[in-house]
Structure 1
């Protein structure tokens, strides 16, 4: 898996201290979680489960089982109102054989002309005469999620 990362943005998100950050970096690796400082963060992260979160004192973050991802994101949204989620993804490109094999300059395809007339170099999976796709290299996505609804008692 090749990862392309905007290191400056990732570092800025990871080192800020006001919004929780949940980072998932791949198969077999635990979640890395940073929370705004509060007494009892370890118990809050444990969520009443048998397994204790592991505190990494050198790098100052919590390690949690990857299976806890959805729960910790939901709980962070409820408690803090927002959470950064950092995780790998592969972008899918879409085009069509008609576009890739086109002779003229007019393109009405979703590639917006990027593949127009370039042919198929073997990296495209042609599903039909009207649709082809391919997956790009892995990269890291960093998104800020916000709670859409107010909790009872909030304005």
Structure 2
């Protein structure tokens, strides 16, 4: 969270009604901010072997990177929607590899809007399954995922 400069992302992180799943750069844990409930740790852990760790600085739970999709699906089941914050590359284009993907991890410029859609429709010109540009630095962006958008 320290590297986020975007005020909109900071506002989303600070609100307390909708869960936030924040995927940091590789090798760092996923940060999960939930509306308060006394059993959040046990609920988030579920039947996973590892236990979520409390991050006092950011007032959130830390989970392994491998739990990213699990965290999102769990929040969707209980709350119906979740903010997903993750890195993407500015100027990167979307591709069939994204449209046919499974799970929630998406680094292309659609930020998940087309992810797993099969085909987003419209006037896309497919060059190849992996056509993408990667201009610019990685930045954090946010999308709201809800049960009805899946």
- Report what 2:146 is aligned to: 146
Structure 1 residues 11 and 49, CA gap change in structure 2 (3 angstroms): same
SS at match of 1:92: coil
> TM-score of the superposition, structure 2-length normalised?
0.66
- Report what 1:30 is aligned to: 29
SS at match of 2:36: coil
Greater relative CO, 1 or 2 (CA 8 Å, sep 6+): 1
Paired with 2:54 and 2:4, the residues of 1 have a C-alpha distance of 25
Structure 1 residues 36 and 133, CA gap change in structure 2 (3 angstroms): closer
Structure 1 residues 85 and 133, CA gap change in structure 2 (3 angstroms): closer
Is the Cα contact below 8 Å between 2:23 and 2:29 reproduced in 1? yes
- Report what 2:102 is aligned to: none
SS at match of 1:23: strand
Question: Are 1:64 and 2:56 counterparts?
Answer: no
Q: Which runs of 5+ in 2 are unaligned?
A: 95-126
Runs (4+) off by over 2 Å: none
Paired with 1:56 and 1:72, the residues of 2 have a C-alpha distance of 16
1:74-101 C-alpha deviation (Å, 9 max, x unpaired): 111110010000000113259xxxxxxx
Normalized per residue, the structure richer in strand is 1
Q: Which runs of 5+ in 1 are unaligned?
A: 95-127, 150-155
> TM-score of the superposition, structure 1-length normalised?
0.64
Across the two proteins, how many residue pairs are aligned to each other? 110
- Report what 1:53 is aligned to: 52
Larger radius of gyration: 1
